[in-house]
Amino acid sequence: MSLPIVHELHDVPDAFAALTAIADWPDVVLLESALLRDGIGRYSFLTADPERTFKLAVPRLGDQPFEALRTHLNGRSAQRVDGLPPFQGGAVGLLSYELGRCWERLPRAEHDEFELPVMLIGDYDWVLAWDHLEQRAWIIAHGWDGGTSESDRAKAADRRIDSVLDALRVEEVDPLRPAAMSNVRISSPIHPVPSVDGVLSNFSREEYLLAVERVIEYIRAGDIYQANLSQRLMSPALGTPLELYGRLRRRNPAPFAGYFTHDDWAVISSSPERFVRVDDGIVETRPIKGTRQRRSSPEADLLTRDELRESEKDQAENVMIVDLLRNDLSKVCCPGSISVPQLCEVETYETVQHLVSEVRGELEQGHDFWDLMTAVFPGGSITGAPKVRAMEIITELEQVARGPYCGSLVYCGYDGSADSSILIRTFVQRHGWVHCPVGGGIVAPSDPIAEYEETLHKATGMLRALM
């Protein structure tokens, strides 16, 4: 195994300033922990200009989307340097919700105006990595494009480090131009959102209430136990994706924030939710189910926290998904290794409080991160249970492709360590529009009006960033 070239930055840059410095590079991606908290949110990673990309535009049942990527990465084994952040180069990219149609026979959404690929992953052989707890940062580079000899790769890695340093030294960066409004036709229904000026939805309020009632009917008929129903909020794009991400990270910070651009589109995320992580063979997933809006006074906020913690409805919703994830992980984890070290704990964010659980397992010999993603994607917390039937109902009722929403931004290092987010609290910008779906888990005791209001509570921090 080879070792990368490492250059520590003694003048540690702000992550957004560094992103701005290379924002015009191809396929730039920032995985940012914009909210530091115990156990999560410690590291951030910035990279761009991948050596090679792997793309799947349209999913078909039976596709093996990770095979070419896995073969490529198997030829690039590298040792991880101790004491540095866990991602030191490798695969980074986007998995959209509809990628699940590769493994299950699922209906296709009636409307998909934005047409993003279901998979786009690059091989990034360099990364600028931050350890926010230690307040340190490093540029790590492998130089795979330099040739086969170790000395040639070291020279290529040094050149890459120099190019990043040159970009960071530029004090003023030319602003990116806003994307022009295109003539793309929005084929899905469009309705104004009550009390939110300039924002549109694919549901009217009345239609969303009826859709929730329809999910409850499916539950009472025995089709499902739970389904995650969302509405897609849309607004004209008034600036660049970079400007939008800058506002979002200030107004709605999160431990799994992300920014990813390719060609004429961008994914801009402020997600609080980890999907799956693999470290030294241990798999961890942290599903979120159960939400309450933050209150302005500390006393009311504490009462809201206690009410959420004691809610039988929200606990049932969370436990159902924990059971689903235990089942999914059992496909690739050692028998008897799956545990639940955290169940229905309240975590507090800028605008909401969530019930969060944690499920762990030990990856079975012969399985890797891509086998894990095949077993669990898309995440149970944003589909429902049983998963496949819930996804069929979601497509029937929502009628629009989710795209990146409820998909994942992922990294998988050359050493096999990996992490990923669930893309909730996420904007997609393309064709002069910004859209941001928001949803919630529907169970038998759900109240349609409360479920509709919960989607708008979840959107509060996102809508602030539009202004």
DSSP letter assigned to residue 368: -
Does residue 253 fall inside a structural domain?
yes
As a whole number of angstroms, the distance between CA 342 and CA 451 comes to: 25
Pairing label, strands 408-413, 288-293 = unpaired
DSSP structure string for 207-272: HHHHHHHHHHHHHHTTS-SEEEEEEEEEEE--S-HHHHHHHHHHHS--TEEEEEEETTEEEEEEE-
Among the ranges 189-198, 285-294, 296-305, which has the highest mean pLDDT value? Answer: 189-198
Closest Cα to residue 455, out of 235, 239, 281, 291? 291
Find, among 28, 242, 241, the residue nearest to 122 by Cα.
Answer: 28
Catalytic entry in 32, 98, 289, 347: 289
Q: Has residue 176 been placed in a domain?
A: no
Q: What is the pLDDT of residue 299?
A: 79
Integer Cα distance of 290 and 311 in angstroms = 9
Which domain does 219 fall in, by range? 5-170+187-465
CATH code of the domain in which 73 resides? 3.60.120.10
Residue 165 domain-assigned (yes or no): yes
Alpha-carbon distance 467 to 463, whole Å? Answer: 7
182 falls in which pLDDT band (50, 70, 90)?
low
Cα separation of the two ends of the chain: 49
Nearest to 115 by CA among 420, 383, 402, 452: 402
Answer whether residue 274 is part of any domain.
yes
Q: Which of the pair, 290 or 462, is modelled with greater confidence?
A: 462
Residue 177 in domain? no
Residue % of the chain over a pLDDT of 70? 97
Exactly one of 273, 358, 398, 454 is catalytic; which is it?
273
**Residue 138 included in any domain:** yes
Residues whose CB is less than 8 angstroms from the CB of residue 430 and which lie 6 or more positions away in sequence, other chains included = 114, 116, 179, 264, 265, 266
Number of domains in the chain: 1
Residue 273 is among the residues annotated as catalytic for this protein:
yes
Are the C-beta atoms of residues 230 and 437 closer than 8 Å to each other? Answer: yes
Axis-axis angle for helices 241-251, 448-465 (nearest 10): 120
Q: What is the mean pLDDT of residues 50-75?
A: 96
With beta carbons less than 8 A apart as the criterion, state whether 455 and 230 touch. Answer: yes
pLDDT in tens, 93-145: 999 999 999 999 999 999 999 999 999 999 999 999 999 999 999 999 999 98
Taking only the tens place, the pLDDT of each residue in 197-248 is 899 999 999 999 999 999 999 999 999 999 999 999 999 998 999 999 999 9
State the Cα–Cα distance between residues 429 and 236, nearest whole angstrom: 9
Q: Could you tell me the CA-to-CA distances from 343 to 123, 288, 320, 355, 439 in Å, in that order? A: 36, 10, 11, 8, 22
Instruction: Look at residue 331 and tell me if it is in a domain.
Output: yes
CB-CB contact of 410 with 128 (8 Å): no
Do the domain assignments include residue 175? Answer: no
**Which residue's entry shows tokens 């095949």?**
374
Per-residue pLDDT band for 301 (boundaries 50, 70, 90) equals confident
- Per-residue pLDDT, 364: 96
The answer to whether the predicted template modeling score (pTM) of the entire model surpasses 0.75 is: yes
pLDDT surpassing 80 at residue 37 = no
Run of H or E residues at 412: strand 408-413
Residues 441 and 115 sit within 8 Å (Cβ to Cβ): no
Query: What are the percentages of helix, strand and coil residues in the chain, rounded to 5?
Result: 30, 30, 40
Q: Catalytic residue at 310?
A: no
